[in-house]
Amino acid sequence: IRFWLYWPGLFIYFARRPRARVLIHDGANHVLLVKGLWKRWFNDDGWSLPGGGIARSERPVEGAVRELEEELGVKVSSKRLVLLGESTIREYGLHYRAYFFELVLPQNIHLRLQPKEIAEAKWLEARKLTRASLNPEVRYALQVWRAHGALLQ
């Protein structure tokens, strides 16, 4: 019921505002994924990438840097982010333009999760992730990452 009550507002918000997502990995085969609080509205327990909306005055990379600091408490230079690609993502009957970036961080980095947005963050082995546990944006980012040969076989 919540979905249908919020859907008109979500449609307007997502349709007009591009998103930035960051695939964070440890340089090997582990990726940092998050579970957002808002996904609970949809009874979705899947993993997502950190990131969020890009402000009108921001370039996609600037939005990614800002979102990393807001959601995870991680400050990085925009020069450390590598553009993986961009795609239209379809999820919950909505679609939005998303820019995907890659970032290498050590697993022992201190995270300060934004409690109003992020319920959990966890390093997971990319090879063991199942399709069912990932939302479309994570599947896209992993596919592009693998295509570039970054994921160890």
Distance CA 19, CA 99 (A): 6
Distance between CA 103 and CA 74 in Å, rounded?
A: 11
63: three-class secondary structure by DSSP: helix
What 3-state class would DSSP assign to 58? Answer: coil
Model pLDDT for residues 19-76, shown as the tens digit of each residue: 999 999 999 889 999 988 765 555 566 788 999 999 989 999 999 999 999 999 999 9
SS3 category, 92: coil
The answer on pLDDT for 4 being more than 60 is: no
Distances (CA, A) of 113 to 40, 88, 126: 17, 27, 21
pLDDT tens by residue, 94-140: 778 999 999 999 999 999 999 888 989 999 998 888 877 788 888 89
Residue 18 exposed, middle or buried by CB count within 10 Å (0-12, 13-18, 19+):
middle
Quote the pLDDT of residue 151. Answer: 47
With H, G, I as helix, E, B as strand and everything else as coil, classify residue 91. strand
